[in-house]
A and B are shown apart, each in its own frame.
Chain A
Amino acid sequence: SQKIEQNSEALNIQEGKTATLTCNYTNYSPAYLQWYRQDPGRGPVFLLLIRENEKEKRKERLKVTFDTTLKQSLFHITASQPADSATYLCAPFQGAQKLVFGQGTRLTINP
């Protein structure tokens, strides 16, 4: 069956460093993949979308890579700030208008 795994439930990073989050998927080949941010008690907010023919996508301090051979996406936040602390969800497209969400990685940036 299709499976999505995000690395570790929680990640603690020192302010100013680069945070790297991993999303691995198995048993299917998504045409694209999205990343969302979720703050406690709030709905997810869209950050980036990357397609299977794109190796890398950037938006300000965010960078996403998509390796269809490894079946993996990496999400980087450079020059991290305490305000970046949140849970980050990856969502590969499953087909038939559906995204499938990973369980999320809770990121904490320590001052």
Chain B
Amino acid sequence: NAGVTQTPKFRILKIGQSMTLQCAQDMNHNYMYWYRQDPGMGLKLIYYSVGAGITDKGEVPNGYNVSRSTTEDFPLRLELAAPSQTSVYFCASSSSQAGEQFFGPGTRLTVL
């Protein structure tokens, strides 16, 4: 099992550019999450999904979009990147609402 994988590991964007952060899991988990983590801060939930075709906003969804066409994949789209989106992005998955979350290695994004 690869667990939760994320690509790319690092990325530098210019203001106004767009990109998609990829996330995939091979554990057949229904629940998937996107978080951002700013230096010295906890994780902030951006979007989450409880199954294929179902997504919902978290605490900080502005400037982001997601889709969940399959159980395995949960890409995060950034449109019109802004410096405030400079952060480390983590994807996670879980088999149940109450269960432990398995995290990917993260994507470090810098917007200049």
CB distance from A35 to the nearest CB of B (A): 10
A109 to B58, CA, bound (A): 35
Q: Is the CB of A102 within 8 A of B103?
A: no
Cβ < 8 Å to B, chain A residues 60-111: 89, 93, 96-104
Interface size classification for chain B: 20 to 34
Q: Which of A49, A98, A101 contacts B100 (CB 8 A)?
A: A49
Q: Which of B43, B56, B97 contacts A101 (CB 8 A)?
A: B43
Q: Is the CB of A44 within 8 A of B90?
A: yes
Q: Is B85 on the interface with A (CB-CB < 8 A)?
A: no
CB distance from B74 to the nearest CB of A (A): 14
Cβ < 8 Å to B, chain A residues 28-55: 31-32, 34, 41-46, 49
CB distance from A42 to the nearest CB of B (A): 7
A4 to B43, CA, bound (A): 12
Is chain A's binding surface mostly helix, strand, loop or mixed? loop
A45 to B3, CA, bound (A): 12
CB distance from A40 to the nearest CB of B (A): 11
A93 to B99, CA, bound (A): 10
Cβ proximity bits B85-112 to A, threshold 8 Å, 1 near / 0 not: 0000010100001101111111000000
Q: Is the CB of B45 within 8 A of A43?
A: no
Q: Is the CB of B45 within 8 A of A98?
A: yes
A42 to B40, CA, bound (A): 14
Q: A residues within 8 A CB of B98?
A: 31-32, 49, 93
Q: Which of A44, A46, A93, A97 contacts B31 (CB 8 A)?
A: A97
CB distance from A93 to the nearest CB of B (A): 7
Q: A residues within 8 A CB of B41?
A: 103
Q: Which 8 A-B pairs have the closest CB atoms?
A: A43-B103, A46-B100, A101-B42, A101-B43, A103-B42, A97-B97, A44-B103, A43-B90
Q: A44-B103, A100-B45 are in contact. List 20 more A-B contacts (CB 8 A).
A: A31-B98, A32-B98, A41-B106, A42-B106, A43-B103, A44-B101, A46-B100, A46-B101, A46-B102, A89-B42, A96-B56, A97-B50, A98-B58, A100-B59, A101-B42, A101-B43, A103-B40, A103-B41, A103-B42, A104-B42
